Structure 1
Amino acid sequence: MGDAGLTAFPRETLRGPAPDVAPALLGAHVVSDSPAGRVVVRLTEVEAYAGEADPGSHAFRGRTRRNVVMFGDAGFLYVYFTYGMHWCANVVCGVDGAAAAVLLRAGEVVAGAALARTRRPAARSDVELARGPARLCSALGVGRESYGLDLLDPASPVRLLAPALPVPPDDVAVGPRVGVTAGAETPWRFWIASDPTVSAYRAHVPRRRTSGGRRTGESSA
């Protein structure tokens, strides 16, 4: 199936700093193809993370098996498991060798809503299908097997397409990040103002340690 005339997001744009890349992703389309069908989400909310310079980032303490894709070229998909039950997706950005990524926080399902509903049966309306980073992944069918995919490869099952028209700067809202223990006050969350699919803002609340002494996961990249 084709991509309705939209083109791959420019990799050179993704090679910019995370806070610059993030608002440029608003309005972009994430296309996910599977044997069950296609789901397309138009991004309405994103969050920037600047790697080793950012205490809120998974790469703050350096390269690990979990975050290695963040240290590669821009345009690849970094997927991580959080809260012991959810997947979250990020677009790797910045220059090769310096980790950075943009968390995909929310979007509007613009194609494949029927399939997305089967993956998100708890959604009370279509507005809620991809309203939040874990819900967005569920609606798209993105999980462990999607880690490291090249989002700009036409043959990839998950692709990132440039918006038909950029979101006007006056329509982009900016605010603090969500769900991180450090750097939450950094105003690197960007969303399309007044869009109903944008997730509700919740300030970080420290979580208790489990019986094994491990903290539950966080929504960061």
Structure 2
Amino acid sequence: MYIPSHFNEPRIEVLHGLITQNPLGLLVTHSHRGLDVNHLPFHLDASQGEFGILHAHVARANPVWQEISTGDRVLAVFQAGDAYISPQWYPSKHEFHKQVPTWNYRVAHAHGRVTIRDDERYVRGMVGRLTHTHEASQPVPWKMSDGPREYIDMMLKAIVGIEIEITSLLGKSKLGQNKEPRDIEGAAAALKALGENTIGEAMLACAAAKRQTDP
């Protein structure tokens, strides 16, 4: 991933937060059939390894777990919002007419080595953690024990675990850091007016930080 210095996000805790808050990632693999991409919900265990461990699962019918092998290099991509930016939103454009359209976004790329976990204990524990995390906001959280045991056992046998030891973690936060604070704020206000709050709020925080550091 191309990362200009002003868009680089090297803080591991920030990237872990991005992954945790946006757990649906793109798993990119390469096998004898070429490149493949699968959209999977991941659980991050930040306490393990240098950069953390990612846990996920795929349907047993999905050939990806047989086309890659334990130890293969893979990539998981996570995105925390994106938005088109019109040059009309920059105050400086109306003074100097020297702005162009762009697209802002925040992403984390987790490179790592995969382990195929085709065992019931791992799959049951991983699904339990995913369920606990994502059901927490429900008035009455669903639990695995809510379903008949035979049914849950059958569903667990239909999936295979995927574990990824993260070996490098890259982050890019493109929020207009190369612009004047007033231009970042102008674009952020326009985004928020359109309901694009994720990137809009991130840009406002970026502008505030820049006002503190710029002379």
Query: TM-score normalised to the size of structure 1?
Result: 0.23
Query: TM-score, normalised to structure 2's length?
Result: 0.24
Q: Is the strand fraction higher in 1 or 2?
A: 2
